[in-house]
Structure 1
Amino acid sequence: MPCYGRLFSSLLVALVLLFASSRAPAADISVRNPSLSAGEDGYTLSADFNINLNARLDEAIAKGVTLYFVVDFELSRSRWYWLDEQVISRSQTFQLSYHALTRQYRLSSGVLHQSFPSLDDAQRILSRLRNWQVLDKGSVRPDQTYLAAVRMRLDLTQMPKTFQVNALANRDWNLSSDWARWNFTPVETSPSALTTTSVLPAAPVEAR
C-alpha cells in the first residue's frame, strides 16, 4: 500500500503542475556567443544561454522534480557531391534540483555537483558553458571549413514517468533553444587562432 500511495502522490503532483502550466507564461532558451577555442588536446566549446523558466517550472523544481538540461554540439562538413558529413556529435547533461532538507538548489553534471542558496544562482551558472572539450586533437583538418552548431534543451525523457505522457504533448514543457550555427576553420600554424562568423538564425528544432 505505501508503494501505491507514493505513486498516487507523484501522479497527483504531476497532474496539478501540468494543468497549471497551460496558464503559465512561455519559457524559452536562446544561445549567445558560441565559440571554439584551441588547446593542447583539441578544441573546447564555450557559450552563453538565456534561460527563462516560467513559474510552473520553478514550482516543479521546488516540489522535488529534477530538470535535465542537455547541451548538444554538432560539427559537420559540406560536400557538394553528397549529403553533409557529420564529423562529431556530443551531448552533456546538467541536472537541476532542489533539496528541501538543506534548502539548497543543486546543479550536477556527471560526478561533479555544486549547491546554491537560490534558483537564480544555480541558473546563472547553468547559463554559462565554459571549456567543454568537444573535439580531439587531429579530428579536424586545417584546410577545411566546418559548420558548428550548439543548442540547449530540456530533456523530458529523463523525468519521472508520471510527467512524460502529458509533458511531451504540452508546449510549456517542450523547452529547447534554436540551433546556433557558425563557420569554423582550424588554423594549423596558430593553435589559438580560429575563424568564426556571427551566429546564423536557425529554425526551431524539436528535442530529440
Structure 2
Amino acid sequence: MAFSTASSRSIAERWRRLLCLLLWLPLLAWAAEIEVNNPQLLASDDGYVLNADFAFDLNARLEEAVTKGVALHFVAEFELGRPRWYWFDDKLVTRTQTVRLAYHALTRQYRVTTGGGLHQSYGTLTEALRAVSRLRNWLVVERGDKAPKSGDTLQAALRIRLDLNQLPRPFQISALGNKDWNLSSDWKIWAATLPALPPLPAPAAAPTPAVETR
C-alpha cells in the first residue's frame, strides 16, 4: 500500500511538471524580440520629447519580405500617468508613432518614413535598421497640456511592435500563428520626473511708429 501511494504521488508530480511546461511553452515561443533601452523624457521649447533605443534584428523571413518590396510598419506606443493603488492607473498622455521601412528596387535604396511623412533613404538594410532603432525628439507632451507639470514624478511606459495589420493581406494570413512574424517588445516602465521647460522667448516689441515731420 505504501509503495502504491508513493507511486501515485510520483505520477501526479510528473503530470504537474508536464502541465507547467505546457503552460510555459507559449510564453517562451513568443518571448519579446525587441529590447527597449535608455528611455528619456527631455524638455524642449515645444514641450517634452522622448528619446529611446531599440535593440533588435530582422530574422531571415522578415529580411526577405523587405527585400521583395513588403513594407514593414513599426508602431511605438507611449503612455504617461500616475499609478494609483486603489484603482486603475490615471493615464495622462497616450501617444503612438509609426515608422515605415520599405525597399525601392528601382533606386536600390531603403526608405525609413517617420511620423508625419519625414523620410530618409539608406544604401543598406543595416543603416536603415539603425535609423528605425533610434527614437529621437518625439514630442509626446505639448507645452500647452495642463495635466503633466514640471517636477511631477510620473510612471512612463514605452513599447514598440511590428504592426501585422498593415501588411498586405496575403502576408497577414501567413503571419497568423507564425512566430517569425512576431517582432515586439515588452512594456518598458520607469519613473520619470519631468524637468523644467525652458522659458518662452519674450514677445518682440512693437515697432515705434515713425513721427512725420513737416
Q: Same fold (TM over 0.5)?
A: yes
TM range (shorter): 0.7 to 0.9
Match of 1:39 among 34, 41, 44: 44
**Mapped pair 1:118 → 2:124:** yes
Counterpart code for 2:103? Y
Counterpart code for 1:125? A
Alpha-carbon distance between aligned partners in 2 of 1:147 and 1:107, rounded to the nearest angstrom? 30
Counterpart code for 1:70? V
Between structure 1 and structure 2, the one with the greater Rg is 2
Alpha-carbon distance between aligned partners in 2 of 1:140 and 1:49, rounded to the nearest angstrom? 26
4+ residue runs of structure 1 moved beyond 4 angstroms? none
- 1:175 Cα shift? 0.8
Alpha-carbon distance between aligned partners in 1 of 2:176 and 2:141, rounded to the nearest angstrom? 32
Counterpart code for 1:156? L
Task: Provide the residue aligned with 1:152 in structure 2.
Answer: 160
- 1:81 Cα shift? 3.3
Alpha-carbon distance between aligned partners in 1 of 2:171 and 2:122, rounded to the nearest angstrom? 26
Match of 1:57 among 51, 56, 62: 62
**Mapped pair 1:162 → 2:170:** yes
- 1:78 Cα shift? 1.5
Verify the 8 A CA contact 2:53 2:135 in the aligned structure 1: yes
Verify the 8 A CA contact 2:74 2:100 in the aligned structure 1: yes
The TM-score with structure 1 as length reference comes to 0.74
Q: Give the direction of change, closer, same or farther, for the CA distance of 1:153–1:35 in structure 2 (3 Å limit).
A: same
1:89-100 equivalences in 2 (<5 Å): 89-100=94-105
Alpha-carbon distance between aligned partners in 1 of 2:77 and 2:139, rounded to the nearest angstrom? 13
Verify the 8 A CA contact 1:150 1:181 in the aligned structure 2: yes
Instruction: Deviation per CA, 1:97-124: give whole Å up to 9, x if none.
Output: 1111111111112321111110001111
Verify the 8 A CA contact 1:27 1:172 in the aligned structure 2: no
- 1:28 Cα shift? 2.1
Task: Provide the residue aligned with 2:185 in structure 1.
Answer: 177
Verify the 8 A CA contact 1:31 1:48 in the aligned structure 2: yes
Alpha-carbon distance between aligned partners in 2 of 1:168 and 1:44, rounded to the nearest angstrom? 35
More strand by share: 1
Verify the 8 A CA contact 1:70 1:93 in the aligned structure 2: yes
- 1:151 Cα shift? 1.1
Size of the alignment, in residue pairs?
A: 165
Verify the 8 A CA contact 1:75 1:86 in the aligned structure 2: yes
Give the % identical residues.
55
What runs of 5+ residues in structure 1 fail to find an aligned partner? 1-25, 193-208
